[in-house]
Amino acid sequence: MGKRGVEKMEKVRYGVIGVGFFGEKHIEVLSTLPDVEVVAVCRRSIEPLKKIAQEYNIPNIYTDYRELLANKEIDAVSITTHIDDHLQPTVDALKAGKHVFLEKPMAKSVAECDEIIKTVQSTDKLFMVGHICRFDPRISLAKEAVEEGRIGEIVSMHATRNLPANIGAEVLNKISPLMGDGIHDTDIMLWFTKSKVKTVYAQTLSVRNFKYPDIGWAMYRFESGAIGVIETIWFLPENTMFTIDARMEIIGTKGAIYIDCGNTGLTINDRIGIHKQDTGYWPRLFGNRVGALRNELIYFINCIKTNKTPDVITPEESREAVRVIEAAEKSAETNKIVTL
């Protein structure tokens, strides 16, 4: 049990702040959970908000998140806003007495992460960052194998998490590949090794004229001695058959693990082309969203209902992933090795 003083409740009354692509995925999952009632949603644009509220029978809509937080009926919120808008809504939600599920990355800087953690520690509310990969059975089973000692001590890791150019174009003015996707594999490596990163060397490349580079690579030396490499390319050919090319190789002193999340097990060849459809993160099953997103939201709801502090991912672990990526971006900018 956690330190939080939370009364058991029949249903968790829930609000979603930031109803874009991913916010709507949250609503799709939450609205099908028997222990949850989605009672409020918030985004700046009113017309899309009305449509979503009508589709999911949500009674309260807001264009100002502070008005949503003032609603005393709401027990918990998902914050699925852009990374630049993570800090203040999170701090305000916690101070308003809401449990908070915040989508990753935790914040755009370590300083902002520290402010969030300070607020969490000053309240009795639950807080969790949505590192979805920890709730993917392919990743969690690999973690289990590492913990069982089946591959010995980890000495090398290489991860790719790449996107087609057209998808990259939609987000490259908002977030970098390293912070947007590289943070997934950075967190996984930190989780698997249980070791901090000692040094970082990174390189980036801008192919198109966006705010952030299309390509980011980073090499880590861990305190354990292991080496890790992350590859994030948001410039794959637009006819690439998979939406996310996500793979990881983990080499140990006694064995190896190979994770392939890009090969979904389902390939569809239609008039548009060949596609590998998502079967792991948030696919539909008989009309409902299932997969890793559902797994982590169910976990968070269960933590609220049982008064358990989330420990599959802690705020400090999420902060550490941001710290490493922040160092990687500094390394790429200065063309120097950064020591943490």
Domains of the chain: 12-131+289-309 (3.40.50.720), 137-278+322-339 (3.30.360.10)
In this prediction, residues 81-90 reach a mean pLDDT of 97
Q: For residue 181, what pLDDT band results from cuts at 50, 70 and 90?
A: very high
Contact assessment for residue 212 and residue 175, using Cβ atoms and an 8 Å cutoff: yes
pLDDT at 243: 77
Asked if the model's pLDDT at residue 124 lies above 80, the reply is yes
pLDDT at 4: 46
In this prediction, residues 71-98 reach a mean pLDDT of 98
pLDDT at 8: 55
Q: Which residue has the tokens 């089973």?
A: 141
Backbone angles phi, psi at 241, to 5 degrees: -80, -20
Q: pLDDT, tens digit, for every residue of 238-251?
A: 888 877 899 999 99
φ/ψ bin of 287: left (φ > 0), alpha (ψ from -120 to 50), beta (otherwise): left
The CA-CA-CA angle for residues 133, 139, 142, to 5°, reads: 160
The pTM assigned to this predicted structure is 0.95
pLDDT at 241: 83
In this prediction, residues 21-26 reach a mean pLDDT of 96
Round to whole Å and give the CA distance between 167 and 314. 30
